[in-house]
Amino acid sequence: MALKMYEISAVGDMVTQICERNKFVFCYYGEETGEIRFTRGDCVLTVFLTTMTIRTVINHPKQGKTQMFRKNCSFDELEKICKNPREHTGKGYKTKKDRIFKKKTNG
């Protein structure tokens, strides 16, 4: 079920508060895609508001520039990810292939 515009606005406000409290700086809002993006140093954090999917793009010490997606996150999980963008929530995948493999192995 899709969120209504006022619900997206309320979620966006809460996401913004959490990210800014953790020193992330707002840089983009895509009204059509429902995504809001923040940066802190070389980390880019994008939240897709309708699904609460969080994407982080970081420079990993061993793997170089990587991105991680985490689906259906709570505000508490967003807070943890803001504090440590490498935080593992058990909801993450790196690519579509990883997500399909994870679905097949988890049920």
Whole-number pLDDT of residue 1: 47
Q: Is 34 left (phi over 0), alpha (psi -120 to 50) or beta?
A: left
pLDDT, mean of residues 83-106:
66
Q: Is the pLDDT assigned to residue 13 strictly greater than 50?
A: yes
92 or 59: which leads in pLDDT: 59
92 or 99: which leads in pLDDT: 92
Question: What global pTM score does this model have?
Answer: 0.79
Q: Is the pLDDT assigned to residue 67 strictly greater than 80?
A: yes
Whole-number pLDDT of residue 33: 87
